[in-house]
Amino acid sequence: MLAEEFHHPLHLQLYILPLSRIANLQRHFNPSNPTSKGEGLIKISLEVSAALTLGKPVVALESTIISHGMPYPQNVGTAKEVEAIVRENGAVPATIAILDGVPCVGLSVEELERLAKMGRKARKTARKDIAYVVATRGNGATTVSATMIFASMVGIPIFVTGGIGGVHRYGESTMDVSSDLTELGRTPIAVISAGVKSILDIPRTLEYLETQGVCIVAYKTDEFPAFFTETSGCKAPCRVDSHEDCARLIDSNMNLGINSGILVAIPIPKEYSASGNLIESAIQKALKEAREQNITGSAETPFLLGRVNELTGGSSLASNIALVKNNARVGAQIAVSLSRLKENS
């Protein structure tokens, strides 16, 4: 391979790479010869592949926020801005989606544009949907759970999102619990978020995560944030005060082979924190409308977020975009610290 393909600029660095890295590079350039489950079915962009091979920091990003989170062209603009923030802070962004039945880790500008225009025509894809979307050669926008799975498959340890799913309000009677929570209990990925979406039952969600064995840490605060607001009334089980501390936590989790995830909750920036009373009032009205219209399951969260945005005159969407960008900045800094930690170990 070295003699035949030395023309590729990446190979100029091969002479200093350990054999394991060379094997990784060969595997990424020849996906038809997979060495682990699922690997040969995944398309990895050249930029992401090179970064993973060379041990550079990579941050996974979901795609449901693009297809279901906001309208076109605001969605693609936000996606590009979030990727740019990751790059500005020293990491490589890897937006994840399924296009024409192929799981893709790292999307081109054209693929981002296509997914954004597709909007809700793309299937909202959680763990349970992955095999179906692939088998039917469909298009899937990955939720937290599906994004975690693909990130773990290719060796990306850090994933940035807005907020995770959780136990829905009235979940004690509906049993509506997001698969994000069980995925965090079984997949060793660090999920960087603004906490749990405030349309959900936050105390019950934290209890469920504890049962799943998930390490929950708040970033520079003692209180667990509530997505649109900095506080939820729930004390965070653990606290970290820097991206270096967070990197050490992630590294310890990986080295110990605990095989469950970490939820890092970052408060929304103060200047974008919406009024708690205004948001809560809008949530209660949206929940009532959802029950009256019998909107449940995977359709409920997009409906609630959209309705809350309408009831708050667009301020909740502006806050949502701001917190995602903030999470991307901190997530990239954590990824850089983790990469340095591994280089020095």
The torsion angles phi and psi of 125, rounded to 5 degrees, stand at: -110, 110
> CB–CB of 272/318 below 8 Å?
yes
Residue with the two structure tokens 């990491």: 91
Q: Sign of the CA dihedral 86, 214, 302, 104?
A: positive
In the chain, the N- to C-terminal Cα span, in Å, equals: 30
Using CA atoms, how far apart are residues 210 and 341, in angstroms rounded to an integer? 28
Is position 270 annotated as part of the catalytic site? no
Q: b/e per residue, 208-224, with b = 16+ CB within 10 A? A: bbeeeebbbbbbebebb
Q: Which residues pair with 262 in a beta bridge?
A: 190, 215
Question: Both tokens of residue 58?
Answer: 């990579």
> CB–CB of 93/59 below 8 Å?
yes
Count of Cβ atoms closer than 10 Å to residue 30 Cβ: 11
Q: Which of 62, 83, 183, 300 is catalytic?
A: 62
> CB–CB of 242/333 below 8 Å?
no
Q: Which residues contact 263 (CB under 8 A, 6 or more apart)?
A: 164, 184, 191, 193, 209, 214, 215, 216, 217
Q: Which of 83, 124, 197, 325 is catalytic?
A: 197
Is position 285 annotated as part of the catalytic site? no
Q: Which residues contact 113 (CB under 8 A, 6 or more apart)?
A: 76
Question: Which residues are designated catalytic?
Answer: 62, 197
